[in-house]
Amino acid sequence: MSDNQSSSSEAAIAELLAIMARLRDPDGGCPWDLKQTFDTVVPYTVEEAFEVAEAVARRDYPELREELGDLLLQVVFHSQMAREQGLFDFAEVVAVLNEKMVRRHPHVFGDEGAADAEAVKVNWEVIKAGERARKGREHDSALDGVPEGLPALQRAHKLQKKASKVGFDWRQPAPVRDQVGLELAELDRALEEGDRDAIEDELGDVFFTLVNLARHLKLDPDLALRRASDKFERRFRRVERLADAPLSDYDEAGLDALWRQAKKTP
C-alpha cells in the first residue's frame, strides 16, 4: 500500500469514527443511535454479516463493497459504546486483532513452517488452545469454541467437524445416509403418536443428520439449502406468472399442474 493510500484509509476511518461519535453525542446526536445498547445492536450485526454472505454468493461486488461497509459500521458502533463505558475503543480492537493475526501465523511472521493449508489449520487449533489456557479457559471438551449464537445449520456443521477431529464420526457417507432413513422413521412414529415435543425433537434429529450427510459429501449444507430456496423462489414466481387467476382459487391438482409446468423451465 502506498503512502497516499495509507493516508486516505486512515482519514476515512477517522471520519467514520467521528461520525459515529457524533451520532452518539447526547448533545444533538441521533435519538435512535443514542437509544441503542450492545444487546439491541447485535441483531443488526448478525444481519449485516448475512448480507455480506449474500453479496458474495451473488458475486455482486458493488453490493459487497456496500455491505462490508455496513458490517464495519457494526464494529465501529460496538466500539463507540464500549469507549463511552470506559471498556475499550476501536484502536484497541484493531490492536488486539493485529497481535492475534501475527501470533496465529507463525509460519508467516515467525520461524515455524507449514507445508499446506491443513498444517496451518492444525497449528491454528493448537495456538487457540494455548490462548484459552492463558485466559483461564481450559480445554474441557473437543466441542469448545462453537458459539451458541451461530445459525443452526452452521452450528450443527461446526459441532460435527469438532467431534470428527477426535475420531467421533462415521468413516463413509453410506452409513450416514442410512441414519437419515432411521431418523425419518422415528419422525414418522412421533407423527403417529401426535406428541408435538417428540415431533420437534425427531425433526431436529433429521436436520442434524442431513447436515452430517452434507459434511460427508463435502458439501456446504447452508449453501445447498440456499440454492434450494433460490430454486423454489424462481419456480414459484413462474407459477405466479403462469396462473390466470389468484393462486388461492386453484385446487391442489391445479397448483400441481402449474408447478410441473414451471419446473420445465431451467
Cell reading at 108 = 508467516
d(Cα 198, Cα 196) in Å, to the nearest integer?
5
Q: What is the mean pLDDT of residues 178-187?
A: 97
Q: What is the pLDDT of residues 186-195, one digit of tens each?
A: 999 999 999 9
DSSP 248: G
Place of cell 450427510: 213
Q: Check pLDDT > 80 for residue 133.
A: no
Q: Check pLDDT > 90 for residue 116.
A: no
Do 38 and 98 form a contact (C-beta atoms < 8 A)? Answer: no
Q: What is the pLDDT of residues 5-31, one digit of tens each?
A: 778 889 999 999 999 999 999 999 999
Cell reading at 255 = 397448483
DSSP 173: H
Amino acid at site 110: G
Amino acid at site 266: P
∠ CA 123-124-130 to the nearest 5 degrees? Answer: 90
- What pLDDT is attached to residue 84? 98
d(Cα 208, Cα 2) in Å, to the nearest integer?
49
| pTM for the whole structure | 0.64
- What pLDDT is attached to residue 266? 67
Q: What is the pLDDT of residues 201-219, one digit of tens each?
A: 999 999 999 999 999 999 9
Its CATH architecture, for the domain 3-103, is Orthogonal Bundle (1.10)
Q: Check pLDDT > 70 for residue 140.
A: yes
The chain-wide mean pLDDT, for the chain, equals 91
- What pLDDT is attached to residue 14? 95
79 pLDDT band, cuts 50/70/90, is very high
> How do the domains of the chain map onto residue ranges?
3-103, 223-263
Q: Check pLDDT > 80 for residue 261.
A: yes
Do 49 and 73 form a contact (C-beta atoms < 8 A)? Answer: no
Note the residue count of the chain: 266
- What pLDDT is attached to residue 2? 65
Long-range (24+ apart) CB contacts under 8 A made by 210-213 are 210/180, 211/153, 211/156, 211/157, 211/160, 212/156, 212/160, 212/170, 212/176, 212/179, 213/173, 213/176, 213/177, 213/180
